[in-house]
Structure 1
Amino acid sequence: MVPAQSPVILNQLGPVVGERIAAHPSRPTVLTHEAGHAPWQVPTGVEVLLTRPLIGWEEAPAAPPTGWGKGLRWIQSASTGMDFYPPWLLGGAPVVTCARGVSAAAIADYAMTAILTVEKRWETIRLTGPEDWRRETLGSISGKRLGLAGFGAIGRAVTERALAFGMAVGAVRRSGWAEPEPGVEPFDRLEELAAVSDHLVLALPLTAATRGLVSADLLAQAKPGLHLVNVARGALVDQDALLAAIESGRVANATLDVTDPEPLPAGHPFYRHPAIRLTPHVSWSAPDFERRLADRILANLDAYARGEPLRDVVDAGTGY
């Protein structure tokens, strides 16, 4: 990669990120994405594209448009997951990088909040008047088993917090366990982990191999009373199977920051089910998100300006 001295960058991430990037020592020319233009409509001469999901990529054509990628050297996504983008975006050129780990702390905080909300029965003990005053027996997370499906930056951040609360942590990951992770019991199969977990957090990417991973068969093998927390992608879960498992009592609670589709249609049973908590895909949100994202992009722009390898490159084979 041999970049120009003053790269031309198309910014689709908003003014906060744009202002930070424009001040980079490489003196980039930062163009603003024009309203009404599809995100893949990149002007001639642009070599860096800063983009994010849900700005029209879901309507991208099945094949790359004529002239796509000409002159582009680097695409930076504001998300970790790449499933919102068309497959041709990961065709190998230009190089694509993601925001791996930028939101890990915020998502881990959300996951622990969900676990504490269930164990401490927050919705039950909240007082709305003196008539609600009563004694309740609350749960505890100390000594409980946390299962992690996926052990990247989010899994590590959740583990750090869970261990501080005295939880036992087990995890499965696609790449296996060449070396032990401190405080984490390795599992080879998700079914084995679900069978012993009190709380199971999904923190893995959506790929062809993981779609529908949380199936009726897996839920049938789960520890009775399981609390499922999904901070990854809705399509990881067979939602009909999850509802059936909750109705049967096998699964006690589900906290879902993601669903398939988003949002769920009006009248969907998840909205009013007392054992299901839905949030609008906000687990990543934090006051410093844009600052952290800009810091990550600037670090990569440093490397780009020097002609060095970029970090957090997306593997076209795995899709993340």
Structure 2
Amino acid sequence: MRSPSVLIHSDEAAIGREILARDHPGLPVAICDSYAGLAEAIRASEAEVVYSTRFMRGEPFPRAALLGSAGVRWISVGGSGTDHLHSWDPARVTVTNAAGVAADLMAEYILGMMLSFSLGLPALARAQHARTWASHQPEPIQGRTLLVLGMGGTGQALAQRAKAMGMKVLGVRARPAPAASFDEVHAAADLPALWGRADYIACCLPLTAATRALVDAAAFAAMRATAVLIDVSRGGVVDEGALLAALDGGRLRGAALDVFLTEPLPPGHPFWTHEKVLVTPHCSSADAQWSARSFERFSRNLAAYRRGEGLANVVDPQRGY
């Protein structure tokens, strides 16, 4: 079994080091917990394999340090998105991701946001803050229609939960095929006819050339004025300017946003104070066990790599997933 040099590039590297020490005793493992030090850490460790996450919000990711190294043969992205690496030469370096490692939590986040709007929790919170006994009438999500953009692990976990709540579920994926818990599955080309059918729209897509600004002004114009948008994808999939215009123009009931074009979201951004928007700090996947699950998956993939076997979750740089 081969013993490649491994570098963990993460702010929670201690978790990964413990897991690798258990599963791969004696394997050389180095650690880098900064962006600025990545290039030197790769050089000093002669890393062939790099486990890497984006952990310094607001700072540009050191893409050149990873892709510019002649010795790095495999980059294991600790999360699902790989847009921060685009693009790379798959003949020189293999990139894998951890898509699906937080699917259940992200599905619960989306379900929670749908329930927040259906029950009117933001308005109730404002009334409580004002000590106002206001008349209020919640509505069920049972019988409503959910449109899921992206049918990966998160989309599938969401569909399962939505069906259990009595919802109708429409799915959109690059290669349409029937799937469990989805009433209908469509291609992205069918979206113009789907926007207006949905009460809730969940974005669970990677950011690629095909998905950038997928939810644009034309999409908002076709949606129901009572619809709610929930975005856990990547900043850039939703046109933020078009979303703000739709909210201000009364063409959309509300939005729950966990991802943004600029992160952290600037203090002066209108989303912060918009009464129709729920803002969360890119945390829909960040439970206490996320890092451990991601490192466990990396460890299993590393065992296959050391045996000379194929890797799981290899990302196609042209497709972005």
Q: TM-score, normalised by structure 2?
A: 0.90
Amino acid of the structure 2 residue aligned with 1:154: T
What SS is found at the alignment partner of 1:315?
Answer: coil
Identity %: 32
Evaluate the alpha carbon distance shift between residue 59 and residue 48 of structure 1 in structure 2; reply closer, same or farther with a 3 A threshold. closer
Shift of 1:94: 2.2
CA distance in 2 between counterparts of 1:33 and 1:97 reads 19
Evaluate the alpha carbon distance shift between residue 267 and residue 45 of structure 1 in structure 2; reply closer, same or farther with a 3 A threshold. closer
Evaluate the alpha carbon distance shift between residue 155 and residue 63 of structure 1 in structure 2; reply closer, same or farther with a 3 A threshold. closer
Shift of 1:129: 7.3
CA distance in 2 between counterparts of 1:300 and 1:276 reads 39
Amino acid of the structure 1 residue aligned with 2:104: A
Evaluate the alpha carbon distance shift between residue 35 and residue 240 of structure 1 in structure 2; reply closer, same or farther with a 3 A threshold. closer
Evaluate the alpha carbon distance shift between residue 87 and residue 38 of structure 1 in structure 2; reply closer, same or farther with a 3 A threshold. farther
Amino acid of the structure 2 residue aligned with 1:120: L
CA contact under 8 A between 2:203 and 2:231: conserved in structure 1? yes
Shift of 1:134: 4.1
Give the match for residue 111 of structure 1. Answer: 110
CA contact under 8 A between 2:35 and 2:62: conserved in structure 1? no
CA contact under 8 A between 2:229 and 2:255: conserved in structure 1? yes
Shift of 1:209: 1.5
Residue-by-residue CA offset, 1:172-217 (whole Å, 9 max, x unaligned): 111222x444443123322222110000000111011111111111
2:21 is equivalent to residue 22 of structure 1? yes
Shift of 1:35: 4.6
Residue-by-residue CA offset, 1:49-69 (whole Å, 9 max, x unaligned): 11112456635449953xx13
Give the match for residue 317 of structure 1. Answer: 318
Give the match for residue 160 of structure 2. Answer: 160
Shift of 1:98: 0.4
Residue-by-residue CA offset, 1:284-312 (whole Å, 9 max, x unaligned): 11121122112211211221222111100
CA contact under 8 A between 2:50 and 2:76: conserved in structure 1? yes
Give the match for residue 192 of structure 2. Answer: 191
Give the match for residue 235 of structure 1. Answer: 236
Please show how residues 26-175 of structure 1 align to structure 2 within 5 Å.
27-33=26-32, 35=34, 37-41=36-40, 42-43=42-43, 45-55=46-56, 58-61=61-64, 64-65=67-68, 68-70=69-71, 72-88=72-88, 90-126=89-125, 128=128, 131-175=131-175
What SS is found at the alignment partner of 1:132?
Answer: coil
CA contact under 8 A between 2:304 and 2:310: conserved in structure 1? yes
Amino acid of the structure 1 residue aligned with 2:136: E
What SS is found at the alignment partner of 1:110?
Answer: helix
* More helix as a share of residues: 2
Amino acid of the structure 1 residue aligned with 2:16: V
Residue-by-residue CA offset, 1:88-146 (whole Å, 9 max, x unaligned): 3x543221110110011111111111100000011223463795334411011111101
Residue-by-residue CA offset, 1:222-262 (whole Å, 9 max, x unaligned): 12211000000121111111111112211110111011111
Evaluate the alpha carbon distance shift between residue 159 and residue 221 of structure 1 in structure 2; reply closer, same or farther with a 3 A threshold. same
What SS is found at the alignment partner of 1:235?
Answer: coil
What SS is found at the alignment partner of 1:154?
Answer: helix
CA distance in 2 between counterparts of 1:130 and 1:217 reads 37
CA distance in 2 between counterparts of 1:150 and 1:108 reads 12
Give the match for residue 288 of structure 1. Answer: 289
Amino acid of the structure 1 residue aligned with 2:185: P
Give the match for residue 202 of structure 1. Answer: 203
Shift of 1:85: 2.0
Amino acid of the structure 1 residue aligned with 2:246: A
CA contact under 8 A between 1:149 and 1:190: conserved in structure 2? no
Evaluate the alpha carbon distance shift between residue 98 and residue 141 of structure 1 in structure 2; reply closer, same or farther with a 3 A threshold. same
**Number of residue pairs the alignment of both structures matches:** 312
CA distance in 2 between counterparts of 1:205 and 1:58 reads 17
CA contact under 8 A between 2:192 and 2:222: conserved in structure 1? yes
Shift of 1:39: 2.8
CA contact under 8 A between 2:39 and 2:65: conserved in structure 1? no
Give the match for residue 277 of structure 1. Answer: 278
What SS is found at the alignment partner of 2:38?
Answer: coil
Unaligned runs of 5+ in 1: none
Tell which deviates more after alignment, 272-281 or 32-41.
32-41
Evaluate the alpha carbon distance shift between residue 22 and residue 257 of structure 1 in structure 2; reply closer, same or farther with a 3 A threshold. same
Amino acid of the structure 2 residue aligned with 1:166: G
CA contact under 8 A between 1:22 and 1:29: conserved in structure 2? no
Give the match for residue 8 of structure 1. Answer: 5
Evaluate the alpha carbon distance shift between residue 171 and residue 270 of structure 1 in structure 2; reply closer, same or farther with a 3 A threshold. same
Amino acid of the structure 1 residue aligned with 2:82: M
Evaluate the alpha carbon distance shift between residue 182 and residue 280 of structure 1 in structure 2; reply closer, same or farther with a 3 A threshold. closer
CA-based RMSD of the aligned residues comes to 2.2
